[in-house]
Amino acid sequence: GTRLGITPVIGDTLVTHTWLEEHSTATYLATFAIGAFQELAFTGATVPVAVFSRATDTAASRISYARVPEMTNTFAALYGPYPFDKVGYVNTTRGAMEHQTMISMPVSVVSQKDSNNGTAAHELAHMWFGDLVTPLDFRHAWLTESFATYSEAAWLESYSGFDVYLESMQKGAQGYVTGISRREGVFPLYDFVRTPPSSNYPETIYRKGANVLSMLRQLVGTATFYDVLKAYLNEHAYATATTEDMKAAFAPVMQGRADAFFNEWIYGKGWPMLAVDLRPSHSSWVVTIRQVQKVQHADWPLFTTLPLNVVYTDAVTGVKVDTVMMIDKEEISFEIDSPDELGINAGSKCRSLVEVTSMTTVLEPRSVQDHLMVLPNPAWDSVTLRRSAADENARIDIVNTEGQRVFSAIFLEGETDLSMSIKGWPAGAYTVRLLSESVITAAPLVLAP
């Protein structure tokens, strides 16, 4: 709101501060803070930026909020003009909350002196998603938290580039699949479960939702994605909206895919689990990608709106291909030049919410398939690689998402287990490959942060 004035009440010891908020405000977004605050002003945005801090925290505040004007301008370019009279933050003992024009920010975040401040960006994005347009009721709360979490990555992209944005989406997807879903359970973004182990604000609607929005951006294109969001925010400004309102906004640009996308990713639960098989065919290799999630989870959908970034060398031209395939059925196949250069959910274009459960290359038939297990998975300081058949020598390679080999070792005939330290390795996704004369078997490895 706007401060109208300060009026003395009793001498110089008591005053009345009068504020006016003329924009519609949802009841959960109203707040006031009382304390011995100093007001810090930041310039560079199209509206005033004010931070209220105790004297002991002003030095840290000047650093932590230094880029808020830039954040404001970034989001205004993506979502439309900042919708209120000012940007405000007040340092509090705990909790981060998007109170309209006066965001509560925990001192624990401010004390980190991080001017990139993803938490400040998250709460600022709520001024558009949550404050300007508020969900009709709790069933639609993903419309606020998914977009605010996505906006953290959009802010990161604005100053570090698209590759860093992709990296954040990849880490987010891994975190959801290997951590959040196991802690909270698996449920839809819309009308999510709110009983333990979930909660009123489960991590699912933050993290899964951000990745779903990133895939939606890939499907419609970046420029169109932001144009639609501007139109949606303008249509429902200072009022409420529902999931169906968001779907209606995107439907005209989705080429008939809106119902399927929202049914699978918003109203549905789970994620695509992919089994990848490679088999030789004359001078090339045939790659088959098959969705297998319904084998374990009958109530998960078969996904028909999955953009999947795949990297490989073309079998005919020998040219390196970095493309996004639209996975719209249970199984797809294509030819590549060499299995060593295949990357699934890799490349320079997008990262999707998928889990590669197996990647197997069969060179010639054998009576016992050489299966590979990674224990534990996710792993932290150490990992054990175990094969079920040990009747021949085999090489172990571990490669990162860029296709770079980061570890290699030999399984001698008769050896079934290989234990190794991974302490100090960067967190993220890796692929473990077991190569012998008769078979190549691969398994995913996730290093937890």
Spatial distance between the Cα atoms of 321 and 342, rounded to a whole number of angstroms: 10
Q: What is the pLDDT of residues 79-90, one digit of tens each?
A: 999 999 999 999
From the list 277, 288, 285, the residue with the least C-alpha distance to 359 is: 277
- Domain final position from 249, 266, 283: 266
Examine the domain organization and report whether 192 and 70 are in the same domain. no
Examine the domain organization and report whether 211 and 292 are in the same domain. no
From the list 132, 264, 143, the residue with the least C-alpha distance to 205 is: 143
Cα torsion for 19, 20, 24, 26, to the nearest 10°? 20
pLDDT at 366 over 60: no
Would you say 154 and 145 are in contact if contact means Cβ atoms under 8 Å apart?
no
Spatial distance between the Cα atoms of 60 and 111, rounded to a whole number of angstroms: 6
User: What's the mean per-residue pLDDT of the chain?
Assistant: 92
Examine the domain organization and report whether 50 and 150 are in the same domain. no
Q: What is the pLDDT of residues 52-66, one digit of tens each?
A: 999 999 999 999 999
pLDDT at 215 over 70: yes
pTM passes above 0.75: yes
Backbone φ, ψ for residue 212 (5° rounding) = -65, -40
Examine the domain organization and report whether 180 and 259 are in the same domain. yes
Examine the domain organization and report whether 317 and 338 are in the same domain. yes
User: For position 244, which CATH number holds?
Assistant: 1.10.390.10
Examine the domain organization and report whether 118 and 42 are in the same domain. yes
Would you say 67 and 116 are in contact if contact means Cβ atoms under 8 Å apart?
yes
Tell me the average pLDDT across 330-334.
Answer: 95
Domains of the chain: total: 4
Q: What is the pLDDT of residues 280-301, one digit of tens each?
A: 887 788 999 999 999 999 999 9
Could you give the percent of the chain with pLDDT greater than 70?
Answer: 97
Q: What is the pLDDT of residues 250-278, one digit of tens each?
A: 999 999 999 999 999 999 999 999 999 88
Examine the domain organization and report whether 413 and 318 are in the same domain. no
Q: What is the pLDDT of residues 338-354, one digit of tens each?
A: 877 889 999 999 999 99
Number of residues that make up the chain: 449
DSSP notation for 327-338: E-SSEEEEEES-
Token duo for residue 378: 């996710």
Give the lowest-confidence range in 71-75, 249-253, 318-322, 437-441: 437-441
- Domain final position from 266, 301, 319: 266
390: burial class by Cβ within 10 Å (0-12, 13-18, 19+)? Answer: middle
User: For position 312, which CATH number holds?
Assistant: 2.60.40.1840
Largest Cα span, the chain = 94
From the list 265, 262, 254, 259, the residue with the least C-alpha distance to 221 is: 254
From the list 117, 99, 100, the residue with the least C-alpha distance to 108 is: 117
Examine the domain organization and report whether 107 and 30 are in the same domain. yes
Residue 369 makes CB contacts below 8 A (sequence gap 6+) with 360, 388, 389, 439, 441
Backbone φ, ψ for residue 129 (5° rounding) = -105, 90
Examine the domain organization and report whether 38 and 53 are in the same domain. yes
Give the pLDDT confidence score for residue 362 in this predicted structure: 63
Examine the domain organization and report whether 103 and 211 are in the same domain. no
Examine the domain organization and report whether 299 and 253 are in the same domain. no
Give the pLDDT confidence score for residue 341 in this predicted structure: 80
User: For position 111, which CATH number holds?
Assistant: 3.30.2010.30
What's at 206, amino acid-wise? Y
Q: What is the pLDDT of residues 14-50, one digit of tens each?
A: 888 888 889 999 999 998 888 999 999 999 999 999 9
pLDDT at 365 over 50: no
- Domain final position from 77, 108, 128: 128
Q: Which residue range is the domain that position 227 belongs to? A: 135-266
Examine the domain organization and report whether 123 and 141 are in the same domain. no
User: For position 405, which CATH number holds?
Assistant: 2.60.40.3080
